[in-house]
Structure 1
Amino acid sequence: MASPPLLWPAAPQDTRILYLARFAPDDPIYTVKPEGITHGYAEYHFRLYEALRNIGYRVASSSKPYAALMAGGNVDFVFSLLNRMPLRNPELLVPSICTYLRLPCLGAPPNIRALAEDKYLSKLAFSALGLPVAPGRAYLPGAELSPPDFPGPYFVKDRFGAASEGVTEASLQDSWEGAARIVGTFHTAGKEALVERFCPGIDVTVPVLGHSPYLVLGHVAPRSDKPGSILTADLKTDDRLGNDLIELGAGTEAAIADDVRKVWSSLGPIDYFRLDYRWDPATGQRFLIEMNICCYLGIRGAIGLAGKALGYDRTQILAHVVEYSLARQRGAHAHDAWVI
């Protein structure tokens, strides 16, 4: 069956984009930035900037969040991957500014972004929708470290972490005593922790594009050489093992398709996102772990790999995401009135 066509701009030169990312080029030096302790993000951010320009869009670029404050009236769309800043829930800053300015912005409305970025609240929302989720409990700094009402083994992570930030092999603990110790390390760093019941199996991610109404690109398994096949921060940032397209069987794939439908009907439309699962090939059990909006668009990532299998290159996916997002938000604020 032929893959459905993606959107492509009829006159890209008429669309002014402000591109924001941690390593986005800053005027007047439009080259790859030095990276420091991170791995691959500088080149990744620069290649996305180049790709948007090569499509034909008029692209201004900045690594500074305050550029969004000055964007009103100067650009038509904000393509922001500026998700890591030294403040709580940094993913919400740029979308909120753009909402105030009535300026179309990549991703989803701020309330949906907030739900997706909170791995505990999203778990509660998914459970309310009838989706299979791993039991979990959030622990705020200073809270009593009493055991959760589910047995181990346990998996401990940052409640708001991106790219598995803070996840190491020590995140997987057989006992509550060990899990509590890891929770304490997050609290010492001033972070809220999320403790989940560990789900055996492998990670499976399901990339989805907003379409008509949406398009599931495929099912991708990130490789892991860690205990429990977990994905640690170093695996996410280095991407040294890569990903595999996999088949989950007709039953599991149909169940995941129904999961996507439920998420979309409640939280959509969204420009693009991933649903991340733990799936046990031995039993067929699946557990939805989290949802990622404005996730990685690298060629070797889940979206790039699954898109390529359907005949889409990254340039086509980028153009589609921008055009879909613009169409999604066209006239969205016409009914709003300024409140002084």
Structure 2
Amino acid sequence: MSQFDLKTEKVAVLMGGTSAEREVSLMSGSGVLQALQSLGVNAVSFDPAERNLLELKKEGFTRCFIALHGRFGEDGTVQGALELLGMPYTGPGVMASSLAIDKRMTKHIWRGDGLPTPAWRKVDSAEATRAAFAELGCPMIVKPAREGSSLGLTKVTAVAQCEAAFKLAADMHDEVLCEQFICGDEVTIAVLGSGAQARALPVIRIVAPEGNYDYRNKYFTHSTQYLVPCGLPAGEEAAIQQLALKAYRSLGCRGWARADVMIDAATRQPYLLELNTSPGMTSHSLVPMAAMAAGISYPELCLQVLQSASRDYAL
């Protein structure tokens, strides 16, 4: 982590980009930009879809707040470019970012570290999707391996849906994942900090209309309920926070991230779904809600994340 000097630094808030989550990224970035400026930070918006990253050095920027989502934003590519520019940036580094966006590789690492995650199969055709449905059971989740915000995701409840579900996911990314569906409570846990100083914020329980926490219900409706305090027994919430910290450290994360977890209704066993290394910062986003519950305002959260900006290697 590099020391942050409010008086001398010029901060680029990277937003927009070229991924399927561009619209959400623009909302996140606008919120972060306004918050940082309200604190007196010399922050400026910077859209990598419209400007070459080399301009960051030419224009005297000293660090970046990454508010990009999805591919070419939280997959290690932008992080690698900023490493070459010698510029500190928010969130996990190159390796952790590239691992976390790949849901299959994330699962392999978590499973190797003894962390619980739903069973899965990689598929390359509608026929393989139908075979996975027979193995994993009904319902089953079909999703692209490298997308966020539930884009390209289908909850399959009949074998006849497999072909369309595979096509939808494959149109988003050429690697498709079929995943065992866990029926129960959906929760999310934000983590701030690095190493031994990392801490989990209060757990948020998500109650979406008909259990459908899709792209629209995440960002564009007011029908989803976000419960914080989450209403889980204290011991269960604490155990899930510890699980999120283990998942975060397992992938080598730093700065901040958010883990998504499902709790099996019958056994109360929590299962890790994925880890987001550039969490949303929109009006509907979950990390600001958790931070508020912990007594951290939105502007304070943005500043804390900015102050944690770092690089994998010091040049």
Instruction: State the alpha-carbon separation in 2 of the partners of residues 155 and 324 from structure 1.
Output: 35
Normalising by structure 2, we get a TM-score of: 0.85
State the match for 2:69 in structure 1: 83
Correspondence 1:91-102 to 2 at 5 A: 91-102=75-86
Mark the CA change 1:188 to 1:207 in structure 2 (over 3 Å): closer, same or farther.
closer
State the match for 1:17 in structure 2: 11
Instruction: State the alpha-carbon separation in 1 of the partners of residues 289 and 129 from structure 2.
Output: 41
Instruction: State the alpha-carbon separation in 2 of the partners of residues 137 and 300 from structure 1.
Output: 31
Mark the CA change 1:62 to 1:109 in structure 2 (over 3 Å): closer, same or farther.
same
Instruction: State the alpha-carbon separation in 1 of the partners of residues 53 and 78 from structure 2.
Output: 7
Pairing partner for 2:166 from 151, 160, 183: 183
Aligned residues: 304
Please report how far the alpha carbon of residue 94 of structure 1 lies from its aligned counterpart in structure 2 after TM superposition.
1.4
Structure 2, unaligned runs of 5 or more: none
Pairing partner for 1:207 from 187, 190, 193: 190
Residue 296 (str. 1) matches residue 280 (str. 2): yes
Instruction: State the alpha-carbon separation in 2 of the partners of residues 166 and 238 from structure 1.
Output: 17
Normalising by structure 1, we get a TM-score of: 0.79
State the match for 2:267 in structure 1: 283
Note if contact 1:83-1:90 (Cα within 8 Å) is conserved in structure 2: yes
Instruction: State the alpha-carbon separation in 1 of the partners of residues 278 and 70 from structure 2.
Output: 12
Structure 1, unaligned runs of 5 or more: 1-6, 24-36
Note if contact 1:14-1:57 (Cα within 8 Å) is conserved in structure 2: no
Note if contact 1:39-1:238 (Cα within 8 Å) is conserved in structure 2: no
State the match for 1:258 in structure 2: 242
Residue 71 (str. 1) matches residue 65 (str. 2): no
Pairing partner for 1:125 from 94, 109, 115: 109
Please report how far the alpha carbon of residue 53 of structure 1 lies from its aligned counterpart in structure 2 after TM superposition.
1.6
Q: If you compute each CA radius of gyration, which structure gives the higher value, 1 or 2?
A: 1
Code of the residue aligned with 2:63 in structure 1: it is: F
Instruction: State the alpha-carbon separation in 2 of the partners of residues 181 and 289 from structure 1.
Output: 23
CA offsets per residue over residues 132-156 of structure 1, 9 Å max, x none? 1100112246985461343332111
SS of equivalent residue, structure 1 residue 14? coil
Mark the CA change 1:141 to 1:52 in structure 2 (over 3 Å): closer, same or farther.
farther
Cα RMSD (Å): 2.9
Instruction: State the alpha-carbon separation in 1 of the partners of residues 244 and 177 from structure 2.
Output: 24
State the match for 1:4 in structure 2: none
SS of equivalent residue, structure 1 residue 68? coil
